[in-house]
Amino acid sequence: MRILLVEDSPINLKMYQEMLRLDGYAEVISARNGQEGLQKFNQDNFDVVISDLDMPLMNGPEMIALIRQSNKEIPIILWSIRINCQAVRNFKHNYPEVIILEKFPRSISGPHQIIEELSKIEQSLNHQP
């Protein structure tokens, strides 16, 4: 499964890349902001997008809205420390299919939740005709 991981914090990016690698997800392509993420998304094929909410140049919701213009099917996971903010609630209203998770370190289960969601996505991709 090819994953596009969009995260502006170098520490978080490294941590999540390693977590995904250790869990068997070897094809993880990273981007440091939404603008770079959108560029990589448009240049390559991915099975899932994982994105931070708050990033410079283009935030996660802006990038996802642009991705949805060309691809309504790709599974997307959005994570944030600010899971209960109004921006996240508005985003969830407009894009109910996007999985929204609370980011580590606020939620110690954050990394495990991402792996669980990826496992569900992978199963659904394997069962498509």
Question: CATH number, domain at 16?
Answer: 3.40.50.2300
Q: What total number of domains does the chain contain?
A: 1
Query: Is residue 86 predicted with pLDDT exceeding 50?
Result: yes
Is 82 in contact with 54 (CB distance < 8 Å)?
A: yes
Q: Is 57 left (phi over 0), alpha (psi -120 to 50) or beta?
A: left
* Percentages of the chain per state (helix, strand, coil), in multiples of 5: 45, 15, 35
Full residue range of the structural domain in which residue 117 is found: 3-126
Query: Is residue 49 predicted with pLDDT exceeding 90?
Result: yes
pLDDT recorded at residue 108:
46
Residue with tokens 């596009």: 4
Neighbouring C-alpha atoms within 13 Å toward the C-beta of 3: 28
Q: E strands within the chain?
A: 3-6, 28-31, 48-52, 76-80, 99-102
Task: Enter the tokens of residue 29.
Answer: 């392509």
What's the one-letter identity of residue 105? P
Mean pLDDT on 12-19: 88
Mean pLDDT on 45-70: 92
| Mean model confidence pLDDT for the chain | 85
